[in-house]
Amino acid sequence: MEETVPIFDIVAIGGMLVFIAAALQITQSKHPVEWPAWLVPAVLAVPLTAWAAVAFLQEGPFGFIEAQTGSLWGMLTWLNLLMGLGVAFFLLQNRARAAGMKSEVWVLMVAFTAGLGLLVMLARMLYIERAARQRSASSSSRG
């Protein structure tokens, strides 16, 4: 009897391959990004939102608890997620505050939506920074 690969395995392996390819591409770039960089986290948030919505609707708001606490690997995944979110939020927070974003709102967003909230926070911060640079360049070219 032939065994098929579960869809979750395909998504997990595909996601890892996309991450590796994107990370390698980013490391090879020697020039600053000229196009609207906020689009990257914004676009990444779309499939993550869709997957989260399906999981939420099918397994409920606390469906993740069993997956994360049911084994040592699940707990390791949970701890990795929390540490990664903490580090990313720590690194992003000062730039976000300097851009005028309210910290408390984003703490709640990241706490309740994890990586999705972090992607949205990053997209918003990059959007605000880009808009400020464009305003500054526009006003300096007029004056």
The percentage of residues in the chain with a pLDDT greater than 90, rounded to a whole number, is 58
Q: State pLDDT tens for residues 1-14.
A: 566 778 888 888 98
Q: What is the mean pLDDT of the chain?
A: 89
Indicate the pTM of the whole model: 0.78
- The gap from C-alpha 16 to its chain's centroid, in whole angstroms, comes to 14
Give residue 15's pLDDT: 86
Other Cβ atoms less than 10 A from the Cβ of 45: the count is 20
Other Cβ atoms less than 10 A from the Cβ of 47: the count is 11
- Where along the chain do its domains lie? 35-131
Q: State pLDDT tens for residues 37-76.
A: 899 899 999 999 999 999 999 999 998 888 888 899 999 9
Q: State pLDDT tens for residues 107-134.
A: 999 999 999 999 999 999 999 999 998 8
Give the residue from 101, 103, 92, 100 showing the smallest Cα distance to 41: 92
